[in-house]
C-alpha cells in the first residue's frame, strides 16, 4: 500500500525527466482551471484534468489553442504561472513581438493651391520566432484604416491616403498579434522652395525666379546654406525663399561680406501657391560664377 502511494505521488515528477513531443499531450484544449509552470531549465506544462507534466519540442509551430503545438523555452518567462492558453500565448509573445514597416517614413511635398494631397504608402508585417498570428493590421491617420482580409502569418501591401494640403499629417501602421503589437509611422509635410540663380535686371521677375537659371531650387524654407550661380553675360545674382525663414544675417562670398538688395514680393510657385518671399539680389552685375554663403 505504501509503495503504491509513493508511486502515485512521484508519478508527475517522473515525467519531468522525459522529453516528450506534441503527440504526448492529450488531445483537447487548455481549460481555465488548468495551470502551466515554466520552471527550471525546461519548460513544462501541467494540466489539471490530466495527471502529469508535459514538455514540448522546439520551436513554436502554431499559435492556435488546439493540440498538437510546440514551444520554445527561450521565449518564456521562467517561473511564471500560466492559467489559460491565452496567458501562455501572451507570455510567448512578450519576448517576440511582430515587426512592421511603413514607407516612405517621411514625405516632403511642395506647397500647392490644391486643397488635398494623395500619396501611396507601403507596409510590411512580419511574424518573428514565437510571435502569434496577426489578428489585425491598420493604418490610422486622418481616418484611414486598412480593410480586413490580411494574412494572419504576415505579408505586405500598399495603401493610398488622402490628406489636407499644406499641413502636416502622420500615419501610423499597427500590426497586432494577440496581446502585443508593433507600429511604424510615415509623416507627410509641405514646404516652399528656395531659389538661387541669375536675372537680367536688378530685381528678378517671377519667371526668372522660377527658372533659377544658372543656379537651382530645393524644397526648403531655411535661409542658411551654400549656393553657386553660374553667370552668362552680365547678370545679377539672386537668392529667394519664403519670408517665414526670417532675414539673412550674413551673406558672404569667399568669406567677405557682399552687397545685396532685399525685396519682399508676393511670389506664386508652379503649383499655384502664393506666399511672401524674401529676395536678395546682388547690387552689381557679374559675368562670372559666384558661390555665396548665407546665414
Per residue in 202-244, pLDDT tens?
999 999 999 999 999 999 999 999 999 998 889 999 999 999 9
Residue 131: predicted pLDDT = 79
Mean pLDDT of 54-66: 35
Least trusted range by pLDDT, from 51-55, 249-253, 267-271: 51-55
**Position 275 pLDDT exceeds 90:** yes
Torsions phi, psi for 35 (to 5 deg): -130, 155
Q: Give residue 260's pLDDT band: very low, low, confident or very high (50, 70, 90).
A: very high
- Output phi, psi for 14, to 5 deg: -65, -30
pLDDT tier, 135 (very low <50, low <70, confident <90, very high otherwise): confident
Q: What pLDDT does 12 receive? A: 36
- Check residue 97 and give its pLDDT: 81
The yes-or-no verdict on residue 194 having pLDDT over 60 is yes
Return all residues near 148 (Cβ < 8 A) that are at least 6 apart.
none
CATH number for the domain whose boundaries are 99-190: 2.60.40.10
DSSP class of 97: -
pLDDT at residue 248, rounded to an integer: 97
Q: Name the more confident of 23 and 211.
A: 211
Whether 171 and 102 have beta carbons less than 8 Å apart is answered as yes
CA neighbor of 131 nearest in space, from 61, 83, 80, 65: 61
Interatomic CA distance for residues 164 and 48, integer angstroms: 58
40: left (phi over 0), alpha (psi -120 to 50) or beta: left
pLDDT of residue 146: 72
pLDDT for 179 equals: 72
Find cell 535686371 and name the residue. 201
- How far, in Å, CA of 188 to CA of 237, rounded? 33
Percent of the chain with pLDDT over 70: 66
The torsion angles phi and psi of 152, rounded to 5 degrees, stand at: -65, -20
pLDDT of residue 40: 35
* Confidence at residue 211, expressed as pLDDT on a 0 to 100 scale: 98
Q: Which of 129-133, 135-139, 216-220 has the lowest mean pLDDT?
A: 129-133
* Cα angle for residues 118, 119, 124 (degrees, 5° grid): 145
**pLDDT value for 267:** 98
- Whether omega before 9 lies within 30 degrees of 0, making that bond cis, reads no
How far is C-alpha 36 from the chain's CA centre? Answer: 37
Categorize the per-residue pLDDT at 20 as very low, low, confident or very high, splitting at 50, 70 and 90: very low
Helix or strand holding residue 31 (H, E)? none
Share of the chain above pLDDT 90, in %: 54
pLDDT of residue 7: 38
Q: What is the mean pLDDT of the chain?
A: 76
Nearest to 171 by CA among 125, 102, 99, 98: 102
254 or 63, higher pLDDT? 254
**Nearest one of 195, 238, 237, 198 to 220, comparing CA atoms:** 195
Locate CATH 2.60.40.10 in the chain: 99-190
Cβ(119)–Cβ(201) under 8 Å? Answer: no
DSSP state, 213? T
Ramachandran angles phi, psi of 245, nearest 5°: -75, -5
Amino acid at each position: 500500500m505504501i509503495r503504491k502511494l509513493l508511486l502515485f505521488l512521484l508519478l508527475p515528477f517522473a515525467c519531468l525527466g522525459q522529453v516528450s513531443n506534441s503527440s504526448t499531450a492529450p488531445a483537447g484544449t487548455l481549460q481555465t482551471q488548468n495551470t502551466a509552470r515554466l520552471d527550471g531549465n525546461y519548460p513544462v506544462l501541467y494540466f489539471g484534468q490530466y495527471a502529469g507534466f508535459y514538455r514540448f519540442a522546439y520551436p513554436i509551430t502554431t499559435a492556435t489553442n488546439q493540440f498538437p503545438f510546440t514551444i520554445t523555452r527561450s521565449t518564456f518567462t521562467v517561473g511564471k504561472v500560466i492559467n489559460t492558453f491565452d496567458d501562455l500565448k501572451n507570455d510567448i509573445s512578450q519576448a517576440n513581438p511582430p515587426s512592421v514597416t511603413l514607407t516612405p517614413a517621411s514625405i516632403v511635398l511642395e506647397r500647392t493651391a490644391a486643397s488635398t494631397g494623395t500619396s501611396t504608402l507601403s507596409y510590411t508585417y512580419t511574424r518573428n520566432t514565437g510571435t502569434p498570428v496577426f489578428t489585425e493590421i491598420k493604418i490610422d491617420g486622418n481616418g484611414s484604416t486598412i480593410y480586413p482580409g490580411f494574412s494572419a502569418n504576415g505579408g505586405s501591401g500598399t495603401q493610398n491616403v488622402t490628406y489636407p494640403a499644406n499641413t502636416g499629417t502622420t500615419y501610423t501602421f499597427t500590426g497586432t498579434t494577440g496581446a502585443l503589437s508593433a507600429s511604424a509611422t510615415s509623416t507627410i509635410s509641405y514646404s516652399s522652395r528656395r531659389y538661387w540663380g541669375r536675372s537680367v535686371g536688378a530685381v528678378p521677375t517671377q519667371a526668372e525666379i522660377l527658372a533659377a537659371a544658372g543656379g537651382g531650387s530645393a524644397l526648403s524654407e531655411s535661409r542658411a546654406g551654400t549656393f553657386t550661380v553660374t553667370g552668362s553675360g552680365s547678370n545679377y545674382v539672386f537668392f529667394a525663399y519664403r519670408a517665414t525663414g526670417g532675414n539673412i544675417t550674413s551673406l558672404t562670398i569667399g568669406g567677405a561680406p557682399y552687397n545685396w538688395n532685399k525685396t519682399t514680393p508676393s511670389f506664386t510657385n508652379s503649383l499655384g501657391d502664393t506666399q511672401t518671399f524674401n529676395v536678395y539680389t546682388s547690387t552689381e552685375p557679374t559675368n562670372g560664377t559666384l558661390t555665396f554663403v548665407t546665414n
